[in-house]
Amino acid sequence: MTVAALDGITVLEISEVMQAPLAAQALADFGADVIKVERPGRGDAIRGQDRHATANGLVSSYFTALNRNKRCICLDLKHPAARGVLHRIVPRVDVLIHNFRPGVMERLALGYEELREIHPGLVYAAASGFGETGPLATMGGQDMVAQSLSGIAVHSGGPGGRPHLCPTPFVDYASGMSLAQGILLALMERQRSGQGQKVSISLLEVAMGMQTLEATSQLMYGVETNWVADWFPNAVFATADGWITVLGFYRDDVFTRICRVLEIDDSAGAAYPTPEAMAAGKQELNAILEPEFGKRPTADCIERLGSVDVLCAPALTLAEALEHTQVRHNETVLTVPVSQQPPARTIAHPVTLSRSPATVRHGVGRLGEHTRPVLRRFEFAADEIDRLAAAGVLGDAGDEVGS
């Protein structure tokens, strides 16, 4: 049996919602033992943000998406005894991940400088909204706020210059993956030095980093780059039965090719021989193409454009994309166990390793499901756990018997 890539790595996750939990799950998928600490009673806020699940007494689909392969424990971090518990656990873990606002972990006696004294090899990963220091350091962060502050919302704006927020929290996704990357870098460096270090990341920094090409054009030449508006035919066209996206910035003769397969007069293509000419005449070209795409089914348009190597794709709904033959072939959809209800389908980690792939070892746990067994693993005696439970440190989880 192949050993998982991160087998032997123990991660303590003290976080909620998306940015840091996604990073922890990425490590867990490849074999890390992730212990997720949640507050008693409510738990991770995302447990309650799925309105459909909450209304029907079901497990949150959002929590399910981000918390497989973890063991869930409850600790009231505002209770001094809970901090004592973590101070006993930390020396035996490799990584601590949190996404509290800067200063909160320090007030809980769980800051990096304090914990490195008891565990010099600790990789301490801190995710924030805007950075550890600076004028916005203590402000609450969220994906769409980062989209706004980073320029993405304005850059994506529609008619009239109204900013547009992407409804998918892609900055959170990218931030979680970047945080996992930083943790892995620190773990690799620790193999040489024997020392841990602090890994810091913010939504704002990731949002800026996702605009590297556009920002460099702005910084070097004061030129704003818009990959949709500046090039032709980077556009979405209505077809007879749906929509198609057509990309044409990668070769000079793309419009000529489109004219050929859509049976448009060749002279139209000859009038726009270069990407620059196509960009300058974008409105005229769209007026030529829109009725041609509009009278053909999407599948026919895809086949025609594909035959002359023009990049294109149907514009699908998410539900349609999940059933697409390529998505099925890639085994993108994953089934995971969910405590006290049927297994759920979610999205697998996008990275595939040929010898040590991601696996599902644990399902999605109930709030506090593993509190007692995890504490026993860290050599807390039964009477100690009982005292912690009686003091309210473990919340209702003190009475749970996990596995």
| Main-chain dihedrals φ then ψ at residue 189, nearest 5 degrees | -65, -35
Helices (H), 241-297: 254-261, 266-270, 275-280, 282-294
Q: Which helix (H) or strand (E) holds 140?
A: none
How far apart, in whole angstroms, are the C-alpha atoms of residue 99 and residue 124?
11
Using alpha carbons, select from 403, 399, 398, 400 the residue that is nearest to residue 82: 398
Structural contact between residues 61 and 33, judged by C-beta atoms closer than 8 angstroms = no
Structural contact between residues 98 and 15, judged by C-beta atoms closer than 8 angstroms = yes
Query: Of 7, 50, 172, 396, which one is the catalytic site residue?
Result: 172
**Chain-centroid distance, C-alpha 306:** 31
Which amino acid, one-letter code, is at 294? G
Using alpha carbons, select from 29, 62, 36, 11 the residue that is nearest to residue 397: 36
Note if 399 is an active site residue. Answer: no
Residue 30 in 3-state DSSP? coil
SS3 content of the chain, % helix, strand, coil (to 5): 45, 15, 40
Q: How many CB atoms lie within 10 A of CB 135?
A: 8
Partners of 274 in beta bridges: none
How far apart, in whole angstroms, are the C-alpha atoms of residue 355 and residue 76?
40
Q: Which helix (H) or strand (E) holds 224?
A: none
Which residues in 252-400 belong to E strands, given as ranges?
312-314, 333-338, 341-347
How far apart, in whole angstroms, are the C-alpha atoms of residue 281 and residue 272?
8
Residue 257 contacts by C-beta under 8 Å, 6 or more apart in sequence?
A: 269, 305, 308, 309, 310
Report the residue count for the chain.
Answer: 403
Q: How many CB atoms lie within 10 A of CB 116?
A: 17
Q: Give Dmax over CA atoms of the chain in angstroms.
A: 87
Residue 8 contacts by C-beta under 8 Å, 6 or more apart in sequence?
A: 31
Using alpha carbons, select from 18, 17, 14 the residue that is nearest to residue 39: 14
Active site residues: 172
